[in-house]
Each structure stands twice: as C-alpha cells, then as structure tokens.
Amino acid sequence: MTRRNTRRRPSPNSRRRSGSRSRSRRGSRRRPRRRFNPAVFIIALILILGAVFVVQSGEDLESLAHMFSYSNKKADLKAYFDIKGKDDVAIVLGDEYIEKRAKLWDGEYYVDLEVIRNNINPKFYYSKEDGTLKYTTPDTIITSNIGENTWTDSKGGSGEEKFVISKEGDDTLYVALDYVKQYSNFAYEAFTEPNHIQLTAKWDEEAVATIARKTDLRVKGGPKSDVIRKLNKGEDVVLLEEFENWVKVKSADSFIGYIEKKKLKDPRKVTPDPVTDYQEPEYTRIKKDQLINLGFHCIGSEAGNATLTDYLANTKGLNVIAPQWLYIAEADGTVGSIGSADYVKQAHEAGMDVWVVFDDMRNKEGFKLMDLLPYAEKRAKIIKEALAQVTLLGADGLNLDFESIIQEEKSQPFIEFVREMSIACRSQGIVFSIDNYYPIYNKFMNIKEQGIVADYIVLMGYDEHTDGSAEPGPVASIGFVEQGMDLVLQDVDPSKVINAVPFYCRAWKESDGKYNSVVQHMNNVQDFLSTNGISVSWDEETGQNYGEGTSKDGTNYKIWVEDTQSLAKKLEAMKARNLAGVAEWAIGFETSEAWDVIASYTEGQ
C-alpha cells in the first residue's frame, strides 16, 4: 500500500506573506539601551587631565606616554646600598660606591681604617697587639687607645674628644671622621633614608649638567629599571659615563644611577673648591749640596773594619761610605754593633760622611722582625739604641736596610717604624736613608711614604736574576734599571733618589739542563772569561756585554758582564732622570776604571 504525502505545499503568496510577517515582528522589537560604564569614563578623564597637566607644565606628550611605558617601580634603597643594620652606613667615595663600610654610632660617623689610609691619609697606624691607634707628624707621635676618647703625644701633650676616637666592630677598626679631619683635608656629607655618606678627598675637574625636565634616576640604563628617586628640573648632576641614550650620573645626595640623555641640558666642566682646613706640616730634610757617591762596605765582623784603608786607596770621588754595622741582637729590641769610631774618624779625614747600615740579616734564630715592629715599646727601644750607636761612633747618618718586608702584613708595622725613626733622626740631625728593592719585586715597603719622611731613598738596582731564578739572566739589564727608576719616580722626588749599581755579575753554569750561578766581581770577571774561553760582545737590549761558551772540562756557561760599558749606560739613564746620586754594591769588588766612569757622572753635573 502506498502512503501518500498529505502535507499541503504552500503557495508562493503564502510564502511572501509569511516573510512579511517575519520582518514585521523583528521591526517591532525595542533596541536595548547602552549602560553607562564608569571605568571607561575615569580612564578617559585621567588621559585628558594628564594631557592638560603635561601641556601646562611645559612638558611634551612623551611624558604622558612615559606614565604607561616606563616602570615606576621604586628601588629598594637598602638593598641598593646593601644596608645590613641600623648602624650600617654605605660609602660613596668620590664618584664610586665602594664595598667598605662606615658606621653611625652615638651620632658620630666612623669609617673603616683601610678606607682612610688608602684614600684620605696613610699615616694612621693601628696596632692590634698594643690596642692603639697612632698618628705621626714630622716631630710627634699621637697615641689613642682603642675604644677611648683621649689621646697623648710623644711631647707630653694630651687631650680629650667629645666622641670615642676609634672602635672595633666586625673584625675591623673604625675611626671617627671628625678625628681624621683634625689631621687631613677632605670633605664628608651624611645622608639618611638610607644611611650613606659622601667622602671627597680629590678636587679634580668634573663634568656636570642640569636636569632639563623632571625625570627618574634609575638603577640601570633602561625604561624598565627600578627608580632610585625623582630628579627635579634644575637639579645638577655629575656626569660619570655616557652611552647612546642614557647617562650614568651622581645626584647631589650621592645616588648613582642612570637617566635619559635627552633630559639633560647645559653640560659643563666644574672644579670643586678644595678643603684646606688642615695645614700640612713640613717634612724638613737634610740635603747634600753635591751628588751623592755612596759606597757600601760589606763587613761581617769587627775585623772587617781594617779593610777600609786598602779599599779607599782604589776609590775616586767617593763622598759617603756605608759600613754594615748595626743589627738587632735580642728579641726585646736590643741593637748590636760591630762599628768603630776610628773607622769613622779615618773616613772623615778622607772627606767622607759615614752612614751606618742597620740591617735585618743578622738577627738571631729565636725571633723575627715581625716579633718586634708591631709593638710601640720595642720600636722605641730599637730606635733609641740604633741612634745612640750612630752618635757614639760619631757617624753622620743611618742607612736602614730591612729586606725581609716581603709580605703585606709586614707593611704597616714597617712603615710606622720608618716614620718614628725619621722623627728621631730629624730631631738629632742624622741623615736618614732607606734601602729598597725596585717596586717591580717588592710592593709592600710603601716607598711613597718613605719618600716623604726620609732624606734619601737608595734603590738596590740589581738582583734582576738571582741564584734562585728559574732562568739565567743579567743582574741588572738597562731595561730593568730604567723601569725600576721610573716606577719609583712616580712617587718620590728625584732629589731624594739614589740608584745603586752592582760591582758584580753572575756566571750561569749548566748542569743537566738546569742552571745555577756563581757571583763574579767586576775585578775578576775578565780572569773568569779568559780561563773558560768565553768571548763577549755588546748586547744592546740588555746594555751589557754577553757571552757564552764551553770550558775545557765541558761545562757550558752564560754570562752578562757588569763592566765600565754597562756602568756608563746606567749612569746615563740616571743623569737623564736627574737623580740625587749613585751608590755601589760594594767597594772592593770594582776595577779602578769604574771609578773614572762614576766620577764623570758625579763631577759632571
């Protein structure tokens, strides 16, 4: 059975009517009313008001964009300065934030002694062994006990401050800045939130500029970096380093950060007014009228004094002789001597001054120099006894030859000893000279400070290579000598500098691919060369005659000879630098021709 579809198909007219009714229904609906959105209104109002503010304040629309594209996050300033407690104070030294700290104790600012010595005044000395802080002037030693507010001096004076002069904390000695200012020219300014101080000890010209438009000082260069603080229009900043779009600056309250270059105007150079509150005392000195020609006399016992007559017979133009006489005999600071008053009398009759050598190479095995120098009482005993010997012998000067100052921890006790020795020598009219290796090898003897307090600095211009050297080489090549003198002259006036030359060299002997050396004195080196069949020729690089060869027994030798040619080369370099004179190690090692070369230097100026 077939089912029929009984659904009636609509006519075209009915479809049109149906469509018409549908449109009519849609058209009759009411459109929904849009609701008021307060958030949109507020944002729009902020933008409008911000634009009005920018225009009225003289800024451009870029500042408006700044509100939305630049970070406004405030930097943690305690973290910025690494503040670790309520008494911790950060230090800005010149234009640099440093790691060393200051302290704020009882309303007084204290700074790490190392910062003071390295940047403000090197003459403060802390003796942990004695529990004292000392300061020396040309004629006085001022002493204060750690943790106290009183001081005494070596002339019998005393005083009391309104604050504790120095305090210990965190295994560090801190000294009150107001005490340091009594002996130093520098400025400091303190700031809070957070605690930091500005220390200024140099007054060099600096670049500054003015803030053209209000801007942010940021921790780093870039718009997303945290903000240290706002910089207002008209503030001056110090320009430290310039980049493409940013500049590293220091603000007036000693925050160091970065600002956009376009926010600056009126760049210029400014020289700060120096602080001159403290009148530096004058370090007077004894200065000879002529160039010094000093011969070291190597003496191992009292019997060695008898060699003076023979040695002087071969010299020419010598005006100072320096015999090795004084040494530390006991651990309490007792000074021993092998000196001779007759020796001094003979030298004086020959027209020479005598500068007594006081060395540290004959101390007994039971003690070391550093068992003595950190203690004020032992330093005083050494100085008193050494100068008593100089006076007793009738000598004219003291030549200090302490060669064991080869570690940093020995530097401060040694230089304090030097300062105190200089006070005693100055008061007694004794010439004070100090022997030094070139700073190429020894940087712990503080030759700059020596150059202030001593009358003469004697440079031991030799031992470029020693028996302990890994490779053979000259005792004193011209490059070594020139470099050493130039380093010293950066810190010491040339009128105080005497350069010592060697009257010896080293013959290097090879054995199984290794070398050891034997000292050859100038007066016997020609015999050595002849005996071993070694011929030499001039080496311009070292400024010496160089030779190598094989002896009859098959031994290989290398040698850089010290002779009149190499000596003349060194004296020429000394003359060019206008030094105070020449010294020789040691008389008795030389040839007679060497004195003619030296005389042409000392008498030709």
Residues 150 and 221 in one domain: no
Give the pLDDT score at 65: 54
What is the DSSP-derived secondary structure letter of residue 443?
-
What is the DSSP-derived secondary structure letter of residue 35?
P
Domain containing residue 186: CATH number: 3.30.457.10
Specify if 9 maps to a domain: no
| Model confidence band, residue 578 (pLDDT cutoffs 50, 70, 90) | very high
Residues 195 and 114 in one domain: yes
Mean pLDDT of 451-475: 96
C-alpha dist (Å) from residue 320 to 300, 356, 430, 437: 19, 10, 14, 20
- In angstroms, the CA 2 to CA 327 distance is 143
C-alpha dist (Å) from residue 23 to 16, 18, 30: 11, 9, 14
Q: Is 57 helix (H, G, I), strand (E, B) or coil?
A: coil
DSSP secondary structure of 336-357 = EE---HHHHHHHHHTT-EEEEE
- 320 strand-pairing partners: 294, 353
pLDDT at 14 exceeding the cut of 60:
no
Among 199, 223, 245, the domain-final residue is: 199
For 394-426, how does the pLDDT look when each residue is reduced to its tens digit (9 = 90+)?
999 999 999 988 888 889 999 999 999 999 999
Specify if 420 maps to a domain: yes
| Model confidence band, residue 443 (pLDDT cutoffs 50, 70, 90) | confident
Which H or E run contains 527?
helix 525-531
Give the pLDDT score at 442: 80
Residues 182 and 209 in one domain: no
pLDDT at 34 exceeding the cut of 60:
no
Question: What residues contact 130, with CB distance under 8 A and at least 6 apart?
Answer: 374, 375, 376
pLDDT at 62 exceeding the cut of 60:
no
Specify if 35 maps to a domain: no
Specify if 41 maps to a domain: no
Among 199, 229, 253, the domain-final residue is: 199
Among 150, 166, 199, the domain-final residue is: 199
- In angstroms, the CA 25 to CA 483 distance is 106
Residues 371 and 477 in one domain: yes
pLDDT at 28 exceeding the cut of 50:
no
Residues 378 and 363 in one domain: yes
Mean pLDDT of 231-251: 98
Give the pLDDT score at 58: 46
pLDDT at 368 exceeding the cut of 90:
no
Count of structural domains within the chain: 3
Give the pLDDT score at 408: 85
pLDDT at 515 exceeding the cut of 80:
yes
Give the pLDDT score at 21: 38
Domain containing residue 346: CATH number: 3.20.20.80
Specify if 277 maps to a domain: no
Mark out the alpha helices in 338-407 (DSSP H runs). Answer: 341-349, 376-393
Residues 456 and 577 in one domain: yes
- In angstroms, the CA 110 to CA 168 distance is 10
For 480-491, how does the pLDDT look when each residue is reduced to its tens digit (9 = 90+)?
999 999 999 999
Please name which of 391, 393, 416, 390 lies closest in space to residue 405, comparing C-alpha atoms.
416
Structural domain containing residue 237: 204-270
Mean pLDDT of 168-190: 97
Is the Cβ–Cβ distance between 483 and 499 less than 8 Å? Answer: no
Counting residues of the chain whose pLDDT is more than 70, the rounded percentage is 88
* Amino acid present at 424: A
Of residues 115 and 29, which shows the higher confidence score?
A: 115
For 127-162, how does the pLDDT look when each residue is reduced to its tens digit (9 = 90+)?
999 999 999 999 999 999 999 999 999 999 999 999
For 268-312, how does the pLDDT look when each residue is reduced to its tens digit (9 = 90+)?
999 999 999 999 999 999 999 999 999 999 999 999 999 999 999
Residues 430 and 571 in one domain: yes
Specify if 222 maps to a domain: yes
The chain-wide mean pLDDT, for the chain, equals 91
- In angstroms, the CA 148 to CA 166 distance is 7
CA 132 to chain centre: 24
Is the Cβ–Cβ distance between 540 and 552 less than 8 Å? Answer: no
Mean pLDDT of 434-453: 92
- In angstroms, the CA 600 to CA 605 distance is 9
* Amino acid present at 555: T
Domain containing residue 210: CATH number: 2.30.30.40
Residues 241 and 259 in one domain: yes
pTM: 0.87
CA R_g for the chain: 40
Residues 260 and 352 in one domain: no
pLDDT at 432 exceeding the cut of 70:
yes
Specify if 542 maps to a domain: no
Residues 210 and 302 in one domain: no
Residues 479 and 377 in one domain: yes
Give the pLDDT score at 63: 53
For 559-576, how does the pLDDT look when each residue is reduced to its tens digit (9 = 90+)?
999 999 999 999 999 999
Give the pLDDT score at 406: 85
Least confident segment among 266-280, 398-412, 520-534, 580-594: 398-412
Residues 358 and 431 in one domain: yes
Give the pLDDT score at 24: 40
Locate 344 and state its tokens: 């001094």
Specify if 521 maps to a domain: no
| Model confidence band, residue 56 (pLDDT cutoffs 50, 70, 90) | low
CA 97 to chain centre: 17
